[in-house]
Amino acid sequence: MTVDGKKTEWLNFWHWCARRCSPALLATILAAGIAGYLLFVPPFHGLADNGDFYRAQFVNGLYRLKGYSMLNYVTPKLGIMQYFNDTTAAVFSSQPLFVKLAVLLNKLFYSKTIFDLRFMGLVYYLPYLGSMYLLTTAMTAPYRKLRGYLIALLIVFVFADSSFTLYFNSFFAEPGMLVLMLYAFSALMLVARRPDWHPRLLTVVYFVSIMLLIANKQQNAPLALSYTVTSIGLFFIFKKRAQWLWILGGIVGILVTGILTYTLITKQFNDINQYQAFTHGVLLHTDDPSKKIAKRGVDEQYALMRNQDYYPKAFAAINPSAKSVKKGLNDKTGFGWIVLYYVHHYPQFHTLLDVAAGDMMITQVKAVGDYQRSSGKPAGAQVTYFTGFSSLAGAFFPQKFSFDILLTIALLIVFAIGAYNDLVHKRVANVVRFFLVMGLLTVFIFVPIISIIGDGDADLAKHLFMVPVSLDLILIMFIADLLNHRLWHSDGNIGEDEA
């Protein structure tokens, strides 16, 4: 056979493959295999209880069996309550929807008394695969060229990373946030790029995902503002007045969800956050805070609480929930006090932001173990299987907040040019993309700031969860559009490519 003959054969084979397997399908299959092995093949993996799981467990009728492990090991089985459950939700959240569904599936297919953690994983896993499909479609369609498959591989490399999928087998709220974010992002981009493909349905998916996402966790309440920005693009797609009303309704819904989530934060949570914003923020990264806080009207003795948790992990000199602490500290150091303090001590705030910048790409929860006790692994052992992206990003992403700001400006400029070109040529896709990116970049910049002011560096990596998700989405879109030549013009050079 000649070289040309071989080439033709190869090309024929390639076309045959491409016809049968789109990039989106490839990404979905790969993600299904990679995450499925991690989550479902015994001894399966997950995240151990960090002490917060009870909030999601008891309310949903689950209880801990003997041998329940905290922090060190994943506990594969839980008990299902058989009688009246008198615990009420400590917090308002959309997370119970997922847990209740998992319990229901467990009861239907497995047992009425014992809960297998994998059902929790399944409840996130299936929608997650759907979101991977949509995301890859949004990033690659309508192309089926080699670069489409490269983009699919990149998406799998980033979003099938075990640091994300491990969350599925746990009672954290984060997996819900991840999946919902993927849906919202892909739905919006699909509406923009393929206006003929279920635009209304996808718009509804977008709004519902965003609302559930905001309601998923208290700390997401401020994100309502960011997602209002991302929604602006929809006004460019739908041009009729009546449609605008619907979109406006959706945006109002987002804001109302945000406000509700914010106002329904319980008093207890406020106390915890306020206390830790002080002990894990105000008192940190400064030489001796004693005099500084005394100057701002708080007894200098409270400087001794530096690095203390509201619920002491072991021993403490005083119970932070004591009346005297409330009177002497919590009643004085409200949100306004903390903001003013940082205004007066900006260098300290900047250092804290750098800490946040250093933490934001580390998505693997190092504080809890990933294995079951029966695995024979040491307590708190971490999975290294398919964590390439999170390890790389965690190690190499610059640990400077100023860099983040610069990156934001650079990305805004790039996407703004795309938007401008589209506006000039009366197209919409890149305009929508610009607002989407802008909204996600506000998450990238403001969530670290809000986290530091609201809760100091306590649980920082978890509070920043939406930051790496947002940034990863932007970067994927950047690379995908660059490869598909539609970074500057939304129609790209499709004609040129297809030739």
Partner 1 sequence: MKKRLFLIILTIISLVGIGWKQPTVAQGADKRVLIVYDALNPTVNGQRKLAGLQQLLTSIGVTTQTEKLSDYYAGQLTTKKYMGVVTLVNWPQGDLHNAAFTRDQQTFSGKKLHVGQQLSQAEAHQLHAVRHNVYHQQLTLSAGGQQQLLPFSENITLLTVKRKAQNFGQLRPQNQGIGHYPYGTVVGRAGYLPYFEANGFSQVLAAQTIATLFGNVRQRKPLLTITGVTPYSDLNRLTQLATKLNAAGIPFAISTTSVADNTSLAAFSKFTKALRIVENNQGIIFLQVPIVGAANRQSGALLEQTMVEELNQLKQRQVMPVGISAPVYWNQDKVFRRYGLARSSNVLLLPNPATTTFAAQDNLGATYGQTWTGLSLNSLLTVKNGRQIAVNRLEFPTRTALTVPFPTSQKKLTAMVKRVTQLNVGWYQPQDHLQTKITSASATFDYRQGIYYLNGSPVTIGTEATGIPKYHFSQTRHVALDKYFKVQGNILFVFFTVTTIVLVVFLFLGRRIYRQMFRRK
Which residues from 416-445 bind partner 1, rule CB under 8 A? 417
Is residue 84 a contact residue for partner 1 (CB under 8 A)? no
Stretch of residues binding partner 1 (CB under 8 A), selected from 39-47, 72-80, 264-272, 406-414:
406-414
Pick the closer one to partner 1 by CB: 288 or 331: 288
How far the first Cα of the chain sits from its last, in Å, is 27
β-pairing verdict for 62-63 and 114-116: unpaired
State yes or no: residue 299 binds partner 1 (CB under 8 A): yes
Q: What is the DSSP letter of 196?
A: T
Question: Least distance from C-beta 321 to partner 1, angstroms?
Answer: 10
Interface residue with partner 1 among 83, 84, 346, 396 (CB under 8 A) is 396
Query: Please, which of residues 318-347 interact with partner 1 by CB under 8 A?
Result: 318-319, 324-325, 328
**306 makes contact with partner 1 (CB under 8 A):** yes
Query: Which of 128, 214, 112, 110 minimizes the C-alpha distance to 168?
Result: 128
Q: Does 403 bind partner 1 (CB under 8 A)?
A: yes
Minimum distance, C-beta of residue 164 to partner 1, in the bound complex (Å):
23
Least distance (Å) between residue 304 CB and partner 1:
5
Closer residue to partner 1, CB minimum distance, 215 or 325: 325
Contacts of partner 1 in 116-155 (CB under 8 A): none
Among 108, 339, 340, 409, binds partner 1 (CB under 8 A): 409
Query: Does 379 sit near partner 1 (CB under 8 A)?
Result: no
- The string over 420-458, giving b where at least 16 C-beta atoms fall within 10 Å of a residue's C-beta and e elsewhere, is ebbeeeebbbbbbbbbbbbbbbbbbbebbbbbbbbbbbb
Query: Which range touches partner 1 (CB under 8 A), out of 16-24, 95-103, 127-135, 393-401?
Result: 393-401
Eight-state DSSP code of residue 90: S
Side-chain-facing half-sphere of 391: CA atoms under 13 Å: 8
Return the number of the residue (264 or 414) whose C-beta is nearest partner 1.
414
Does residue number 402 form part of the binding site for partner 1 (CB under 8 A)?
A: yes
**Binds partner 1 (CB under 8 A): choice among 157, 398, 427, 494:** 398
Bridge partners (DSSP) of residue 63 are 79
Q: Least distance (Å) from partner 1 to the CB of residue 283?
A: 8
- The answer to whether the CB of 135 falls within 8 A of the CB of 469 is no
Convert 338-393 into a string of H (helix), E (strand) and C (coil).
HHHHHHHCHHHHHHHHHHHHHHCCCCCCCCCCCCEHHHCCCCCCCCCCCCHHHHHH
Three-state DSSP class for 74? strand
Q: How near is the Cβ of 439 to partner 1 at its closest, in Å?
A: 21
Q: Phi then psi for 79, rounded to 5 degrees?
A: -95, 150
Cα separations (Å) of 10 from 129, 216, 340, 405? Answer: 30, 49, 67, 47
Task: Please tell me whether residue 315 binds partner 1 under the rule CB under 8 A.
Answer: yes
Residue 246 CB, nearest approach to partner 1 (Å): 37
SS3 per-residue string spanning 433-460:
HHHHHHHHHHHHHHHHHHHHHHHCCCCH
If binding is defined by CB under 8 A, does position 374 make contact with partner 1?
Answer: no
Of 301 and 374, nearer to partner 1 (C-beta) is: 301
392 binds partner 1 (CB under 8 A): no
Read off the DSSP letter of residue 279. Answer: I
Return the CA Rg of the chain: 24
Q: Does 111 bind partner 1 (CB under 8 A)?
A: no
Size of the site for partner 1 (CB under 8 A): 40
With vertex at residue 187, the alpha carbon angle to CA 182 and CA 189, rounded to the nearest 5 degrees, is: 100
CB nearer to partner 1: pick between 306 and 427: 306
In the complex, the smallest distance separating the C-beta of residue 228 from partner 1, rounded to whole angstroms, is: 27
- Pair 201, 134: CB distance under 8 Å: no
d(CA 245, CA 242): 5
What's the burial of 82, exposed, middle or buried (CB within 10 Å: 0-12/13-18/19+)?
A: exposed
- From residue 259 to residue 298, the character string flagging contacts with partner 1 as x (rule: CB under 8 A) and all else as - is ----------------------------xxxxx-------
Match 């969800």 to its residue by tokens.
Answer: 257
Complete edge-to-edge strand list for the sheet that includes strand 114-116:
62-63, 77-80, 114-116
- Min separation Cβ 282 and partner 1, Å: 13
The yes or no reply on residue 314 touching partner 1 (CB under 8 A) is: yes
Indicate the DSSP class of residue 320. Answer: T
Nearest approach, Cβ of residue 6 and partner 1 (Å): 43
Shortest reach from residue 488's CB to partner 1, in Å: 11
Among residues 65, 248, 252, 316, the one that binds partner 1 under rule CB under 8 A:
316
Residues of this chain that bind partner 1 (CB under 8 A): 287-291, 299-307, 309, 311-319, 324-325, 328, 395-396, 398-400, 402-403, 406-407, 409-410, 413, 417
